[in-house]
Structure 1
Amino acid sequence: MKMITRKKHLEMKLQSIPSHPNPKVGLEQYSTPSVIASDLIWNAYSLGDIEDKNIVDLGCGTGIFAIASSLMGANSSIGVDIDEDSINLAIGVKDKLKLDNLNFIVSDINEFNEGSITDTVFQNPPFGSQRNAEVGVDLNFIQKAIGLNCSVLYSFHMASTEEFLIKYFEVNNLKITHIFRYKFPIPKIYDFHTKENQNVDVIVIRALHK
């Protein structure tokens, strides 16, 4: 496949990835918009975290970060998610795009063990945008990334938790180098939603494993 040379072209490719086929409220499933995913991956590529690297996308959903990494020249890219419906959709996109450097695995992230070296981890975990969301799930993802001994971590979180996270990353020997800020749209897909669309302030922390 021809290498993508412009961020807009990457965004256009990612727009073809369907949303979660059957979003599950317990997993707090919201599809990452292509404009956010393409911007983050483009920045990661510019920082040398994608090309020829081994990528893991934890809680990948329909696989947007794993797919984008493959399109941008990753050596290998693995998407991991507990939801079989989402993984089956992601596999269909992989087959359509004919990406040989991409694989998807149905697994709880806590049970996933990558045998080879992991260079870069992307994760957009349930970050607590719902009132009754389970507390600390995103921290569990951070601990899993540390366990994979990755060199670089990109992790989504609520912007309101930034001060706490800065301290948490430091305590866990993760050196924060960049913080990317986005307005994440939450569409009306669950019964308890009262607004057609709501923007949530999120941050993506890039950190190096010391």
Structure 2
Amino acid sequence: MKKITRKKHLEMRLQSIPSHPKPKVGLEQYTTPSVIASDLVWNAFSLGDIEDNVIVDLGCGTGVFAIASALMGANSSVGVDIDEDSIALALSVKDKLNVDNVDFVVSDICDFNQPLDADTVFQNPPFGSQRRAESGQDLKFVKKAISLDPKVLYSFHMASTEEFLIKFYSDNNLEITHIFRYNFPIPKIYDFHSKEKADVDVIVIRAELK
């Protein structure tokens, strides 16, 4: 597999990952745009969090962060998601891109206990963009990530919760080193959506275990 040396090339490869064909509203499933995924993974690579590392992608959906990490030289990467349809699509993309150092597991992230010696965890959990969404789902993901004892965590959250999150991370022995800011487009994919597209301000927190 040819090594990717430019962020634009990574973005182009990730564009081949299709959106979820049957998104489930209860799981708040939204596809991470390739431009956001490539930017975040490129930054993580630049910080030494990808190459030769073991990567875990919690709530991986169609596998964008697990696959991107593998393309950028991860030793291995594993994507975990409760949705069988998402994992089936991720596996097909893996085969299409001929990426052999990535695997996918169907599991509720709370029940996932496979020993991996994880170095880096990525997660784009349900972060509460829906008005009726159950609050605190992203915090459950953070606590699960901590239990995997990685060196570093990258986690998506609503930007409006930043002040609360800074305290939450500190209280859970996580040191925030970077905050990346994105405008996350949410397309009209559910019946209750009234707009063709809505843009949501999100942050991705990079944190290290103290």
Q: CA RMSD in A?
A: 0.5
CA distance in 1, matches of 2:60, 2:20: 11
State the Cα deviation string for residues 118-149 of structure 1 (Å, max 9, x = none). Answer: 00000000000000000110000000000000
Q: Which residue of 2 aligns with 1:140?
A: 140
2:81 corresponds in structure 1 to 81
CA contact (8 A) 1:56 1:120 kept: yes
Partner Cα separation in structure 1 for residue 184 and residue 114 of structure 2: 30
Alpha-carbon distance in 2 for matches of 1:172, 1:27: 25
What is the match of residue 96 of structure 1? 96
1:12 alignment partner AA: M
Q: TM-score normalized by structure 2?
A: 0.99
Question: Do the aligned partners of 1:114 and 1:148 also contact (CA within 8 Å) in 2?
Answer: no
Question: Equivalents in 2 of 1:43, 1:197: separation in Å?
Answer: 27
The 2-side partners of 1:30 and 1:115 are apart by: 28
CA contact (8 A) 1:55 1:69 kept: yes
The 2-side partners of 1:98 and 1:8 are apart by 19
Amino acid at match of 1:119: D
Q: Please report how far the alpha carbon of residue 97 of structure 1 lies from its aligned counterpart in structure 2 after TM superposition.
A: 1.4
Alignment of 1:47-58 (within 5 A): 47-58=47-58
Residue type of the alignment partner of 2:186: I
Moved segments of 4+, more than 3 Å: none
Instruction: Tell me the residue number matched to 1:129.
Output: 129
Q: Which residue does 1:59 correspond to in 2?
A: 59
Distance in 2 of aligned mates of 1:145 and 1:115: 13
CA shift at 1:116, angstroms? 2.5
1:21 Cα deviation after fit: 1.5
Report the AA paired with residue 177 of structure 1: T
Q: Report Cα offsets for 1:161-199 as digits up to 9, x if no partner.
A: 000000000000000000000000010000000000010
Q: Check the 8 A contact 1:81/1:107 in 2, yes or no.
A: yes
Aligned-residue offset at 1:99: 1.3
Name the amino acid aligned to 1:30.
Y
Match for 2:28: what amino acid? E
So what's the TM-score if we normalise by structure 1? 0.99
Q: What is the match of residue 118 of structure 1?
A: 118
**Structure 1, unaligned runs of 5 or more:** none
Corresponding residue number in structure 1 for 2:149: 149
SS across alignment from 1:77: strand
Percent identity of paired positions between Structure 1 and Structure 2: 77
The DSSP-based 3-state class of the residue aligned with 1:157 is strand
